[in-house]
Amino acid sequence: MRKIKKNDNVQIIAGKDKGKSGKVLHVDAAKDRVIVEGCNMVQKHQKPSPQNQNGGIVSKEGSIHVSNVALLVNGERTKVGFELRDGKKVRVAKKSGKVID
């Protein structure tokens, strides 16, 4: 089980976009990286294709290491813990003790 999942709201805590927050679009568990909506924008050069007739330079989100993001619960950064509740392993916010899922 991962501490950060798709559709979680996170805040960037290190790097050029420090302080920005957004929704997690994709989690790459093998590389421990996440893609956050509107953060770490990179430019990609694309050739013309049937989907993109003109080609050119396209801005898109780049990946960020999972250690450089913090989960937001009720607008506050918090660490994530795990507990067994009703026989299920659930994510719990360390600050408030609330179940995240």
pLDDT value for 52: 84
- Consecutive sets of 10 residues in the chain, 101 residues long: mean pLDDT of each? 92 95 96 96 94 90 96 94 94 92 74
Q: Which helix (H) or strand (E) holds 22?
A: strand 21-28
> For residues 11 and 19, is the Cβ–Cβ distance under 8 A?
yes
- Structural domains for the chain: 9-93 (2.30.30.30)
pLDDT value for 101: 74
Q: Is the pTM of this model over 0.75?
A: yes
State the Cα–Cα distance between residues 48 and 74, nearest whole angstrom.
43
State the Cα–Cα distance between residues 98 and 92, nearest whole angstrom.
6
> For residues 29 and 1, is the Cβ–Cβ distance under 8 A?
no
pLDDT value for 91: 95
Q: How many distinct helices (H) and strands (E) make up the chain?
A: 0, 10
pLDDT value for 45: 95
pLDDT value for 51: 87
Pair of tokens at residue 28: 């790459």
